[in-house]
Structure 1
Amino acid sequence: MNKFTLALSMTSALCAIPAFAATTKPLPPIPTLFTTLAAPADPDHFTFVVSGDNRSTGHGYPMPPALNQICLEIGSVRPAFTLWTGDAIEGYGDTPAEANAEYDTFFASAALTQSPMFMAPGNHEFSLDSALLPIYQKRMGALYGSFDYGDSHFIALNTTPVLPDGKISAGGEIDAEQRAWLEADLKANASAKNTFIFLHHYVYGPPDTGSTIDTGFKSTEDRDSLHKLFVQNHVRAVFCGHNHIYWHAAHDGVDYYISGGAGAPLDASPEQGGYLHYVVFHVDGDKVTSEILQPWHLLTTYPQGDAKGLTTETAFVENTNNTEVPARGIVFHIAPPAAGASVTVSAKVSYKKGKIVPAQIVSTHPSADGKSLEVVVAATLPADRTTEVTISSISNR
């Protein structure tokens, strides 16, 4: 059982990360309610999520429901931040008003992650239409840039740049100005323990049916030049989208991922990676591990209801992924404890012989309406099981 004294719980502080020590183009989070990065307790240990490609099936159609569900589940995982690999809106055929409405929908879902999100634009954000470019810049921010987190460096690239003639690229390339910036940024941040890059068009990936081309770039020559730069600068991993699948392979020591399963029409059978998903990455020094999670496989229900003014509340957290999930965002709302009272948490799996699940309180603070105490709990959820998590307010008298 984990015990958390209320008097101490109200003194938590949010620490800002040292700002962009060695970048000329700082990449801010997209403007949801969560734009401040909390400093990791240990700069070598943290969690982040990668996902992308949630655009609709075509112009005028609604945003896929998978987007909202994935963001809600990311909120349960509660990573330090999320990297999004583009195609957040449909774009093609959109008027400025329609594009803005799609961004509104995306932001509402992105806020459910309860953590900052960083974006690399895809081809759908611009859709060969120069009128959509300033909308992206106003709503989302920088087209490319970088930021530091802990001892790691993160770089976003724009693979749909503005060409010298002023037109929007069809995608799959890096313009000369951006390439020069990238080379300088990698050199300036050579001391980072890990360097991660995220972009929309995939650098490596499975060829389309009937094709032998294994890249989303316009030419394998451009791709090979970029890959050589990554190898020379010891890039740890590259996260891409565009192909609506999950895929992973290593080339010359660089791990390449495609995570394009946030709701857009899938591009392959499930056996070939064509399934809805998001990926949770854990940085442990120079070691990086991951779990592939699928939406609607991490669900939280409250059998007594939530925010009912109770002194004890239980949540059933169902994890039907075939992997354990470290969740740091299991949220409760209980009656404000009396002065000097303590809040405790316990967790268990009752299936068959059952077992105790370690759990701890991450934070507490008054709810927005002031009528309850919001308690956020962390627990590592066993695979294919429901974990019962219970919060109680206990008097110390």
Structure 2
Amino acid sequence: MQTVQLDEKKNVTIFEDQLVTTEKRPWFGSMPSQLGEDFSFVVMGDRCGMATEGVFEKALDMAKDLKPDFVLAVGDLIEGYWKSAADTHQEWDDIDDKIAAMGLPFFPVIGNHDYSNQTMAEVWRERKGLDYYAFRVGDTLFLSLNTEHTPDEFSDAFIDIIKRITADVKREPERANEHMSAFVDELKGTLSPEELQGFGKIKLSFGEEQLAYFRRVLANNADAKWTFVNMHKPGWKSESEEYQELIQMLGNRSYTIFAGHLHAMEYARVGNAEFIQLGRTGGLAHGDGTNPSDENVVLWVTMRGGMPTYRVIHLDGVNDLTAYQPHQHNHGESV
């Protein structure tokens, strides 16, 4: 397995699959110098899936100001489901420019919106090269998986519905919940009962080549004190045998799995394993938006002494100072 030491003064190593020949890479930037055992990073949820404009950009601006050491993203950075490479490139150009302008190291994984058919998979490889990778910061190991090895392709009729509702949400974000209800109703009227049942299932695939790569990474880093696994779809909610094989590989080590896809914040712990489903960071709420788990969030992670702590930052509670304009106070208000 090829390793790339980013800098002799940095405590960071990238592990690359020896089968990959491309020079393209999906991450942005380079790690801070003198990165030690204690560090912090932000995890961003799904930007897309009927995105509200400006939310993900707000998260990027906040990260730029607060300066974590780096940023992870759980995928669905673009709306996707394009049939043409030109449309796919255009959407990637827009978000890639915004991510690069943040100026922080940014490590994404593939979501179903990013890699939804063969054309989009080819564009990813052309622009970003690797579709899975790993890196290590001191005694902490990071695995970045592709849950869309075999894209779950939809019919043209289904994609047309997605495109139309996405355009409606973009045009009228204040009516987003209404548009989501209309989307669900249209699906019920369009899909067969069998198709509806299949639509509600979490389907993911890694492929043997990817699993073999992570098997080698884990074997070569058995001394890591903590392992973070970043993937788009929450495998623990699936019936995937490949996901179960991954869990067996992780064994008794202490680890956290980040995922997205369902646009709702959830946390669970089983023994030495943590399962964190990221809430949305721009994508449309799958619920009615009244539950705190449905809100737009990012996750701040701090590593100290080889152990993580977490803080959920709700973006609706993060405001620019100019939102607080002077107003007249009555002395009685302080009584």
Q: Identify, as 1 or 2, the structure richer in helix.
A: 2
Structure showing greater radius of gyration is 1
Match among 246, 260, 264 for residue 265 of structure 2: 246
The answer (yes or no) to whether the contact 1:245–1:261 under 8 Å persists in 2 is yes
Shift of 1:300: 4.4
Distance between the aligned counterparts of 2:123 and 2:136, measured in 1? 26
Mapping of residues 1-397 of structure 1, within 5 Å: 17=10, 20=13, 24=17, 30=26, 32=28, 35-41=29-35, 43-57=36-50, 64-127=53-116, 129-162=117-150, 168-169=151-152, 171-204=203-236, 215=237, 217=238, 219-230=239-250, 232=251, 234-268=253-287, 269-271=289-291, 273-301=293-321
TM-score, length-normalised on structure 2? Answer: 0.71
Q: Secondary structure at the match of 2:13?
A: coil
Shift of 1:21: 6.6
Distance between the aligned counterparts of 2:223 and 2:272, measured in 1? 18
**Residue identity opposite 1:261 in structure 2:** R
**Identity of counterpart residues, as a percentage?**
22
Partner deviation per Cα, 1:130-150 (whole Å, 9 max, x = no partner): 111121123333100111223
Gaps of at least 5 residues in structure 2 are: 1-6, 154-202, 325-333
The answer (yes or no) to whether the contact 1:78–1:114 under 8 Å persists in 2 is no
Distance between the aligned counterparts of 1:117 and 1:157, measured in 2? 15
Partner deviation per Cα, 1:188-240 (whole Å, 9 max, x = no partner): 01112221110101123xxxxxxxxxx1x3x254443332332x151421111
The answer (yes or no) to whether the contact 1:146–1:156 under 8 Å persists in 2 is yes
Shift of 1:103: 1.1
Q: Secondary structure at the match of 2:309?
A: strand
The answer (yes or no) to whether the contact 1:22–1:188 under 8 Å persists in 2 is no
**Residue identity opposite 2:261 in structure 1:** H
Cα RMSD for the two superposed structures: 2.9
Partner deviation per Cα, 1:341-380 (whole Å, 9 max, x = no partner): xxxxxxxxxxx9xxxxxxxxxxxxxxxxxxxxxxxxxxxx
Distance between the aligned counterparts of 1:278 and 1:156, measured in 2? 18
Aligned position for 1:7: none
Tell me the matched-pair count.
266
Q: Secondary structure at the match of 2:142?
A: strand
The answer (yes or no) to whether the contact 1:151–1:194 under 8 Å persists in 2 is yes
RCO (CA 8 Å, sep 6+): is it higher in 1 or 2?
2
Distance change in 2, residues 1:51/1:290 (3 Å) = same
Q: Secondary structure at the match of 1:174?
A: coil
TM-score, length-normalised on structure 1? Answer: 0.61
Q: Secondary structure at the match of 2:107?
A: strand
